[in-house]
Amino acid sequence: MKELVDEMNIGCHVSIAKSVDLAFDRAKKIGCSTFQVFLKNPRGWAFKEISKEETERFKKKYSNYNISPVVAHISYLPNLASLDDEIYTKSMDSFRQEIERCVILGIPYFVIHSGSYKGGTFQEGFEKYVESIQKGIDFGKRKVTILVENSAGGGRTLTGSFVNINAILKEINDSKVKVCFDTCHAFSAGYDISSQLGVSNFIAEIETTIEMESIAIVHANDSKTGVGSNRDLHEHLGLGKIGKIGFSELINDSDLRKKPWILETPIDERRTDVENINYLRSLINK
């Protein structure tokens, strides 16, 4: 049965501080077999150059470290559904540059968060978002798969429900667009994945909407707030409202366990990343 355990591909979000290739060393040090990065400072619009040497070191480590896949996540500010021309232009410029970095570094997956249709209708935001993703496929020269992440719902986000995500996928109808399933966001958006029945209902909903094959990766985060709260507050695994039962049901699902699982849990004194990874591994049925 050891084989099944080894099959699980688990990692964390890690920093690219000082040099982008150091992400590999940080990931290796804490026992990740996959990891996620931002490709720029996530809190601003500015880009700091990534040198040729950094790129070369990154690619070398990508072939040598046996850590795969590397996933990149879009920075926080872009809104790919924005109906404000100025914000939209800035958003698309950042989106393009970030995806171009994926191409240069050989990163196969790029996670985008939900767009917001603030100032307009759902339909207008939906059309903008679809158009942005289509452009993104070209920015990535078809080498990068764009992963639409489900949101915590509420406000004017487009991806709180898997019915909406399915509509986005169907509209684009391209194998270069898949889904990043975030457990905290799904729970906050109203999918009660904290029990055995809840998880089986959730999986049934996935099968009737986007289908399991569309999920490329899982973001494993517990939630500080309750089901349907629409808040995006990540918690250490098992210490939040999804809890131990929810995560053990999810991680032992025969399809979900084959996906790369990436943690975006808090950085604080209660748990380290290593402890969260070990916690998740401890839930896997032997």
Which parts of this chain interact with Zn ion (CB under 5 A)?
182, 219, 232
Looking at beta carbons only, is 50 or 165 nearer to Zn ion? 165
Assess whether the previous peptide bond of 42 is cis (omega < 30° from 0). Answer: no
The answer to whether residue 191 is catalytic is no
The answer to whether residue 219 is catalytic is yes
The answer to whether residue 13 is catalytic is no
The answer to whether residue 232 is catalytic is yes
Least distance to Zn ion from the beta carbon of 64, Å?
A: 28
User: Which residue out of 182, 222, 235, 273 is catalytically annotated?
Assistant: 182
Q: Please report which helix (H) or strand (E) contains residue 103, including its range.
A: helix 85-105
Looking at beta carbons only, is 149 or 192 nearer to Zn ion? 149
The answer to whether residue 127 is catalytic is no
With CB atoms as reference, the residue minimizing the distance to Zn ion is 219
Least distance to Zn ion from the beta carbon of 257, Å?
A: 19
Least distance to Zn ion from the beta carbon of 159, Å?
A: 11
User: Which residue out of 98, 109, 117, 149 is catalytically annotated?
Assistant: 149
Looking at beta carbons only, is 232 or 235 nearer to Zn ion? 232
Looking at beta carbons only, is 21 or 222 nearer to Zn ion? 222
Strand segments (E) across 126-236: 145-149, 177-182, 215-220, 222-223, 234-235
The answer to whether residue 76 is catalytic is yes
The answer to whether residue 236 is catalytic is no
Q: Give catalytic residue positions.
A: 43, 73, 76, 113, 149, 182, 185, 219, 232, 234, 264
